[in-house]
Chain A
Amino acid sequence: DGGITQSPKYLFRKEGQNVTLSCEQNLNHDAMYWYRQDPGQGLRLIYYSQIVNDFQKGDIAEGYSVSREKKESFPLTVTSAQKNPTAFYLCASSKMLGRGTGELFFGEGSRLTVL
């Protein structure tokens, strides 16, 4: 079945460590996104990518990094510079970044807890 796979589902990290969250999609979508969800808040955009080897900062990119070496993959690294990394991270994809194509398909999320 087509979809978006995020791994790991749960991750614990010690302060000062970098951690990478995986996101793979087999929907043949051009655009991919990373959102963060915190309690009582909506989803906030971290980074997005419209095509391979290109990505743009979202609203809260500080302390995060991404790469887009393949169309299917868009990993997110949470670096030690991210001051409040404990959150639920959601990866999403869409057909293309254009009018009327705002529908995103989301993965099941990765919950990161910093100890």
Chain B
Amino acid sequence: DQQVKQNSPSLSVQEGRISILNCDYTNSMFDYFLWYKKYPAEGPTFLISISSIKDKNEDGRFTVFLNKSAKHLSLHIVPSQPGDSAVYFCAASGLTNAGGTSYGKLTFGQGTILTVHP
């Protein structure tokens, strides 16, 4: 059961334009969401996060939007740069059904390969 889904395996964008990466989740217990960026043969690096008490978090060129009612979040990169080309993973954590917490025990989406063309 895929609790975090990134339905677009890949996205191609022109340099300077906006990149929008999407993520859907099914577990209503998730309340903390993160985006990671990964280059080939390297570990992911943290990009930006958002708590469920917010609907937007911005950090420079990166903005994450959260729509709790739709169980959907998106990452916007503006303007996109060739160096942004990487795999982007959406991840989520929160309370568990057993009453514990799963923070740190992130559930990841499948990833979206972003290619930014010069």
Contacts and interface: CB of A to CB of B under 8 A. Distances in A.
A111 to B, nearest CB: 7
Nearest to A31: B104
A107 B45 CA distance: 9
Contacts of A43: 44, 89, 91, 106, 108
Interface in B9-43: 9, 32, 34, 36, 41-43
Contact of A109 (B4, B41, B45, B89): B41
A104 B89 CA distance: 13
Nearest to B31: A99
Given A42-B108, A42-B109, A42-B110, A102 B41 contact: no
A40 interface: yes
B85 interface: no
B101 A40 contact: no
B105 A109 contact: no
B42 A105 contact: no
Interface residues of A, number: 31
Contacts of B41: 108-109, 111
Given A40-B110, A43-B89, A111-B41, A101 B104 contact: yes
Interface of B: 4, 6, 9, 32, 34, 36, 41-46, 49, 51, 89, 91, 93, 101, 103-111
Interface of A: 4, 6, 31, 33, 35, 40-45, 48, 58, 90, 92, 94, 96-109, 111
